[in-house]
Structure 1
Amino acid sequence: MAYGAPAVVIDNGSYTTKAGFASDDLPTMVFSSAYSHDESTGKVIVGDEEMSLYPQYNVSTLLENGLVYNFDNIVHNWQYIYDNIDNHNPIESKEYPLVMTEQSWNTARNKIKTTEIVFEQLEVPLFSLVKNPVSQLYRCGKSTGLVIDIGAGVTSVTPILDGIIQNKCSYHSKYAGDFLNLHVEHYLESKVGSIDDLLPDSFRAQRASDSFKQYYMSTHILQEFKNLSINYQVSNYQIYNHKFIDVTDQRNYLENLFDPTLNKLEGVNLPEPSFDKPSSHGLTNLVFMSIKNLEASLLPKTDNSAGTTTASSQNRFAWFMEIFKQLLSNVLITGGTSLANGLSDHIISDLKALTQKYFPNYPFSYNVQQIRVNNSSSESADVWDRQFGSWLGACNLASMLNDNDENSSKIALDNWFVTKADYEELGEDIIIEKFK
């Protein structure tokens, strides 16, 4: 039997939190994942407009490396959603199923802590954790593909075969949108002398905390300038005192995603790239390591010391070739930073060059192809799908609860959701099993 109420879907990203009902076409709430807090009283403020009223408060983050680390205060983020999700009207969390997204490298400890909060504090009736790359690929109608997600805090490369994430061949690094912001901030500071000169007068006052200034700088000035400079190549940029600064000598910031050591930043020490530390590499090398390790795990070995192959290994080789062709013809490039002009073309070009150079015996380079949701040619649709792809994909799965097809709702309940009753009876065991 179909579940009556639509699920609430929450996607906590490093930069913004996206939330809404699974029945919505787009998230009804998109707000900063940071929060303000008054250390003297313990007061916590969530929401961009609300935070701007208290610039004297310190600003803190909730996620690191794409994962929630601040569980003491993440509940304020989730409660803010329930208080505002229905056109700024509150709803009762105990009356709606809840679906959240998670990174594929999320830890068992984090899954258990998250589930404990949503069942014991929010008292939701049903809960599910959906892996970002799977939900994004699912939304495209694919079960096999290479998901390249470039967000604010993390860039990740995830191969998925028949709906299963290949964890040993999945890699991520912090060379993402926030890393580009560091380069933008350093460049603008060299132009104006002090980064405070870019802030509005009200926030340059002594009463604004340093962490609030950095939050505002990141979410407004740096984000705006990065988008303008990458997508429109502006030559003059207007700052808050109505003066223009000449920015014709700016670099192509996107190159830092592919080679993080290309432009050194004063005061920022980056780890030397090492193949035993994938997170030390830029995007191109992450992709290379992913497909190279996938080849090593899937390519059949010769059956004896003479190097001959049997019919069985020949069949495995044919299967390997078919899997790789499917994977590389379904490259999904997503995440807010991926919207930068020319970035997708650069990735696909590099991927073709990699296959031609390092896999010369396989005709993979002819199959490399970027996919989009429903092959949409609409520019606005592509923007929404990249910014909100994980949230939208999770909505697709959550909507199965409300499907009139009894079989669909049963599949969703049996495979992706945990009930509050089951959690109370089975505890951590069912969480580890269901959300593995």
Structure 2
Amino acid sequence: MSGGMLYGGDEIGALVFDPGHHSLRVGYAQEDTPKAEIPAVVGVAPDESPKLEPEAKPEEGNISSHPTTYKYYIDTTYLHSPRPNMEVHNYMKDGMIENWDMFEKIMDYSYEKIIQSESQFHPVLFSESPWNQRQKREKLTEIMFEKYKVPAFFLVKNAALAAFANGRATALVIDSGATHTTAVPVLDGYVISNAVVKSPLGGDYLVLRARELLESMGIDLTPAALIASKEVVREKDKPRYVKKS
């Protein structure tokens, strides 16, 4: 869709957000491809940076004067760097936004690092799954208007967008994502919700089965980033290495 269809002007700079369980696609409505694809997970680790000593001693009974604070790691470069005690959380569940705090971290990163512009200057188009719940739609709308102050906001089914992108207002859209595969009928631009067929088989399941197959064949899949050192071995011998502690 063009920016003119969204907000009455060809040069308005409307943004498109396409969230999924594997990644979030972000870009401008006038462009053919997303500006960035951000993993839909956030790394959370304790903040071990040095802290200033308090001026006054804590009162008796207070266990710690320094409550634990956390740092958040977003995007591929930061997530693929091993960090002690880091946990990875996905803000999506069953194709819908579940963890709103993590989602807002992703949105803050998108505006600051990807778009590099103030949110109030850009109308927004957001895609959603055909079975998205009303309270989640209302929550997302509230966040976009109240926190990000967007001038206009449009929420539309991703299957309808896929049909329009291929020049069709009526189509059967087959969508195979990370966690599920769906068949969604679209009639004159509207999704027929009660006819949606959904399967829990997706890319994550296929990757898991492929991993099990390779491991059953004796193939070591330890990532290179977790190897501290390795030894030279003969061809077809099992690898010998030391993992990072």
User: Residues 204 and 135 from structure 1, CA distance in 2 versus in 1: closer, same or farther, beyond 3 angstroms?
Assistant: same
Query: Residue 151 of structure 1 corresponds to which residue in structure 2?
Result: 177
Aligned partner of 2:81: which letter?
L
Structure 1 stretches (4+) deviating beyond 3 angstroms? Answer: 241-245
**1:25-44 counterparts in 2 under 5 A?**
25-39=32-46, 40-44=68-72
Cα distance in 1, alignment partners of residues 70 and 124 from structure 2? 28
Runs of 5+ unmatched residues, structure 2: 1-7, 47-67, 238-245
Residue of structure 1 in register with 2:51 after alignment? none
Q: Secondary structure at the match of 1:38?
A: strand
Give the SS at the match of 1:198: coil
More strand by share: 2
> Is residue 179–residue 200 contact of structure 2 (8 Å, CA) maintained in 1?
yes
Q: Provide the identity percentage.
A: 30
Residues 243 and 119 (structure 1), Cα distance of their counterparts in 2 relative to 1, 3 Å cut: farther
Letter in 2 for 1:50: Y
Distance 2:174 2:147 in 1: 35
- DSSP-derived class of the 2:38 partner: strand
Q: Is the 8 Å Cα contact of residues 19 and 27 (structure 1) preserved in structure 2?
A: yes
Measured in 2, the distance between the counterparts of 1:180 and 1:54 equals 25
Q: Secondary structure at the match of 2:130?
A: coil
Q: Does 1:179 align with 2:205?
A: yes
Structure-1 separation of matches of 2:161 and 2:234: 44
In the TM superposition, 1:281-360 aligns within 5 A as none
Q: Offset of 1:31 from its aligned partner?
A: 2.3
Deviations 1:204-263 (A, max 9, x none): 57xxxxxxxxxxxxxxxxxxxxxxxxxxxxxxxxxxx99779xxxxxxxxxxxxxxxxxx
Higher helix share: 1
Shift of 1:4: 4.5
Of residues 58, 77, 84, the one that matches 2:87 is 58
Please say if residues 55 and 203 of structure 1, whose CA atoms lie closer than 8 Å, have aligned partners that are also in contact. no
140, 143, 166: which one pairs with 1:140? 166
Q: Provide the residue aligned with 1:76 in structure 2.
A: 105
Residue 103 (1) aligns with residue 99 (2): no
Secondary structure of the 2:217 match is: helix
Answering whether residue 11 of structure 2 is matched by residue 11 of structure 1, we say no
Would the alpha carbon gap of residues 174 and 3 (structure 1) be closer, same or farther in structure 2, given more than 3 Å must change?
same
- The answer to whether the Cα contact below 8 Å between 2:111 and 2:117 also exists between their aligned partners in 1 is yes
What TM-score do you get using the length of structure 2 for normalisation? 0.76
Shift in Å at residue 200 of structure 1? 3.0
Aligned residue among 71, 76, 91 for 1:48: 76
State the 1:46 CA deviation.
Answer: 0.8
Q: Counterpart in 2 of 1:118? A: 144
CA distance in 2, matches of 1:138, 1:48: 30
Partner of 1:198: 221
Structure 1 stretches of 5 or more lacking a match? Answer: 206-240, 246-436
Q: Would you say the 8 A contact 2:176–2:182 is kept in 1?
A: yes
RMSD after superposition: 2.3
Larger RCO: Structure 1 or Structure 2 (Cα < 8 Å, ≥ 6 residues apart)? 1
The separation in 2 between residues aligned to 1:137 and 1:105, in whole angstroms, is 17
What is the deviation of 1:164?
2.1
Secondary structure in 1 matching 2:209 = helix
Normalised by the length of structure 1, the TM-score is: 0.44
| Partner AA of 2:76 in structure 1 | D
